[in-house]
Amino acid sequence: MTSSSSSSSSTQELLNTLLNNPSTIKSKLQAKQLHAQILKTRPNPSPSHISALLSLYSNFANLLRDSLLLFQTLHSPPPLAWKSLIRSYTSHGFFLQSVASFVRMRASGRYPDHNVFPTVLKSCAMLGDLTLGESLHGSVVRHGMDSDLYTCNALMNMYSKFRSLGKNGGERFSARQVFDEIPEWKGGVESYFGGVEKREVNADASRDSIESSEMSKEMETRLPRTSNASGISKRKEVERHVQMDSVRKVFDMMPYRDLVSWNTVIAGSAQNGMYEEALSMLREMGNNNMKPDSYTLSSVLPIFAEYVDIIKGKEIHGHAIRNGFDADVFIGSSLMDMYAKCTRMEDSLRVFDLLPRCDAISWNSIIAGCVQNGMCDEGLRFFRQMLTAKIKPMPVTFSSIMPACAHLTTLHLGKQLHGYIIRSRFDYNVYIASSLVDMYAKCGNIRTARWIFDRIETHDMVSWTAIIMGCAFNGYAHDAISLFEQMEAKGTKPCYVTFIAVLTACSHAGLIDKAWEYFNLMTQRFGIAPGLEHYAALADLLGRAGRLEEAYNLISDMHIEPTGSVWLTLLAGCRVHKNVELAEKVAEKIFMVDPLNMGAYVILSNVYAAARRWKDVARLRASMKKKGMRKKPACSWIEVRNKVHAFVAGDNSHPYYDRINVTLKVLLEKMEREGYVPDTNEVLHDVDEEQKKALLSSHSERLAIAFGIISTSAGTPLRITKNIRVCVDCHTAIKYISKIVGREIIVRDNSRFHHFNGGKCTCGDYW
DNA sequence: ATAGGGTTAG
């Protein structure tokens, strides 16, 4: 069809095509040309022609405005026009308007048929309002559509979506809002045909026609809710089952089921955490001669990711390959995620490499997989590749990549991403905000973290935990505890991780009684079984306070098997309090469960060195060598003008090496005048005092600090990150340095933050 | 004509 055919007779042909063979019109352009053609010769097309054109328009994207204009020319829109309008609204994401139009259609006396219900039900699923959904279900039943295949499939999907939308903080709408939306012709739309009369909308009639409450009652008798009074604590579980019970009821009443029906139930169960039900439906579907397709497989793969079941996951992967589904982006994404959750990144990367086409979600999968497995640099590389490939990042992309910045302490990257997030208007997404809070906190910028936290609209458990952990990590224990109390007052239930944060705060401030109080609160009131991290925080606290026996008994009486890292916290306590006997006993425990624990070797060596037991130091060194263990060199890094500078003790390759040494020497003189006495006790080498002092002042954090002093202007805070713990002497030394240079120095080591200012550190004696 | 799938934060 071309625009050159302009005679009246050919217009008649076009109209016949429109009415009888609309499927021959395959493009938006053709549809618009047809519209223009009709206008040229027929100033007043019949309602059936307009409806047919409207139906055609609703097949294409970005024609909503044209559809609305066309619709407005109709004084009494026939069913086809209504259905097309509703379809247009839904396909353009105007779900509220879609349902409202359905209500208006009913108010105008037109009857819905089996074609329109699936679309309306889909809109309702997106709106996430249960009451509205039940009303629509009532309408389905009263119009005799409760045996229609497509309608039932849409109904099941709708019920299964209510929970997951609510859980994700998706916007919730109510039937009330649908009514508010009904007088939707707010002017500004002018007709192509001119001379449109404004029609009155009878809102009362609309209200009568849907009768939400009455329908809800009707639905209650048809779909009785399970009265599962198993307990208040499992309220969430029960709620979840109520929706899935409705899905099952629809499923069981269906006279005929197709693959979509099965897939809808399986996906619904999987998405609502009912994994066993989903898997039993998968088996049952085979008994009913239904062969799983790519939809089925991509729905069940997340279950094996959650179960960390690589065997079953690989079975599905094999099935996908045998059936030619392995090029499917949906299956690819869930496969990458499954392998990543099973810590099999090689397999995950291979799936990614073999995927012929990638969309935003498959990029997210590989990025999240890398970051979750500690491959932060690779994650960032994929993120850049994604941008290069012109794939627009989604909110999920940012919450996946931000932890990489937090882990690497690359504040400049995190800030850059934050800028991108603000420009994309994603900054009120609670997932992203939580990851930003964590990133800023982990980069030592607790004020910005708090600023972002304060601007989150509704805090959830994770965002509370992020800020509490942020304060705890940064040494602001009392803020952390106060925030925890605020969280309780707001009625947000703390979880396992929240208590790790609270106990970390206590350990940072030496609040032993408080810590026990929270430990008991967690176990007794919240019924959370303490994990390794909780025990570690408590043992750390007791150890630092010198209550070594108490810590030893705590770890010995744990209800789970302690790992080397739990014992290691106590070993560190033994070092601080110079208890050689207990240190040996604890180290023995560690070597029993973890013979290659580097930390244990290093700390025990420190303990021996402090006691001048050089033979034991040598024995340990020989033992390490025999096992092929090499001490990981201490490394510190600092960000200066968006570039990360890394320093290793004794490394003289840095261009500023000489200037750094001069600065350190000048500083040392000033420090000694202020009263600094080097603590050479932990120097592992049996050398003279002067050499020990020289070794101490070449520790990597001091090189990084000196570099920071040289290359930034006066008053700028210095942020240092170290891969291992800051030693006792450096801790003392940095206090002096902060006073002398009048700067805030923030040092993050693998376990906590130290904010030095004016000769003091936030962690006080509990370094 | 109309219905079904994958990825995030502490």
Burial class (CB in 10 A: 0-12, 13-18, 19+), A211: middle
Give A467-486 pLDDT, tens digit per residue.
999 999 998 999 999 999 99
Select, from the ranges A24-33, A94-103, A752-761, the one with the highest average predicted confidence (pLDDT): A94-103
Per-residue pLDDT, averaged over A616-643, amounts to 90
> What pLDDT was estimated at residue A222?
27
C-alpha A703/C-alpha A707 separation (Å) is 6
Q: How many other CB atoms are found less than 10 A from the CB of residue A421?
A: 23
Q: Are A328 and A336 in contact (CB under 8 A)?
A: no
Quickly give A160 CA vs B7 C1' distance in Å. 19
Between the CA of residue A17 and those of A14, A63, A144, what are the distances in Å? 5, 20, 33
Q: Which residue is nearest to nucleotide B9 (CA to C1')?
A: A431
A364 CB inside 7 Å of strand B: yes
A258 CB inside 7 Å of strand B: yes
Confidence tier at A132 by pLDDT (50, 70, 90): very high
> What pLDDT was estimated at residue A20?
75
The one-character DSSP state at A59 is: T
Per-residue pLDDT, averaged over A660-667, amounts to 94
- Among A158, A165, A186, A28, smallest CA distance to A97 is for A186
Name every residue whose Cβ is closer than 8 Å to that of residue A438 and which is 6 or more positions away in sequence. Answer: A402, A403, A406, A449, A466, A469, A470
> What pLDDT was estimated at residue A6?
46
Per-residue pLDDT, averaged over A87-111, amounts to 95
C-alpha A173/C-alpha A719 separation (Å) is 46
Q: Is the pLDDT higher at A112 or at A228? A: A112
Name every residue whose Cβ is closer than 8 Å to that of residue A599 and which is 6 or more positions away in sequence. Answer: A564, A565, A568, A571
> What pLDDT was estimated at residue A2?
44
> What pLDDT was estimated at residue A36?
84
C-alpha A703/C-alpha A705 separation (Å) is 5
Of A17-26, A195-204, A577-586, A707-716, the poorest mean pLDDT is in A195-204
The one-character DSSP state at A457 is: S
- DSSP assignment of A154-165 equals HHHHHHHHHHHH
List chain B nucleotides near protein: any atom < 7 Å from a Cβ: 1-10
Per-residue pLDDT, averaged over A635-657, amounts to 88
A270 CB inside 7 Å of strand B: yes
Give A233-269 pLDDT, tens digit per residue.
222 333 455 689 999 999 999 999 999 999 999 999 9
> What pLDDT was estimated at residue A154?
98
Quickly give A295 CA vs B6 C1' distance in Å. 9
> What pLDDT was estimated at residue A43?
75
C-alpha A521/C-alpha A648 separation (Å) is 44
> What pLDDT was estimated at residue A766?
56
List strand B contacts in A 206-225 (CB < 7 A). Answer: none
A278 CB inside 7 Å of strand B: no
Using the CA of A122, give the nucleotide whose C1' is nearest: B3
- Among A426, A404, A500, smallest CA distance to A461 is for A500
> What pLDDT was estimated at residue A232?
23
Helix (H, G, I), strand (E, B) or coil at A640: strand
Using the CA of A114, give the nucleotide whose C1' is nearest: B2
Give A156-209 pLDDT, tens digit per residue.
999 999 874 444 334 445 555 655 565 433 332 222 122 222 222 223 323 323
Q: pLDDT exceeding 70 applies to what percent of chain A? A: 87
> What pLDDT was estimated at residue A724?
85
- Among A591, A594, A542, A593, smallest CA distance to A604 is for A591
Quickly give A20 CA vs B10 C1' distance in Å. 59
Run of H or E including A756: strand A753-757
Count of residues making up chain A: 767
Give A579-622 pLDDT, tens digit per residue.
999 999 999 999 999 999 999 999 999 999 989 999 999 999 99
Q: How many other CB atoms are found less than 10 A from the CB of residue A591?
A: 17
The one-character DSSP state at A233 is: G
> What pLDDT was estimated at residue A238?
36
Q: What is the pTM of this model?
A: 0.85
Using the CA of A297, give the nucleotide whose C1' is nearest: B5
C-alpha A93/C-alpha A88 separation (Å) is 9
A434 CB inside 7 Å of strand B: yes
List strand B contacts in A 290-319 (CB < 7 A). Answer: 293-299, 301-302, 305
A112 CB inside 7 Å of strand B: no
> What pLDDT was estimated at residue A8?
52
A502 CB inside 7 Å of strand B: no
Q: Are A766 and A507 in contact (CB under 8 A)?
A: yes
Per-residue pLDDT, averaged over A418-443, amounts to 96
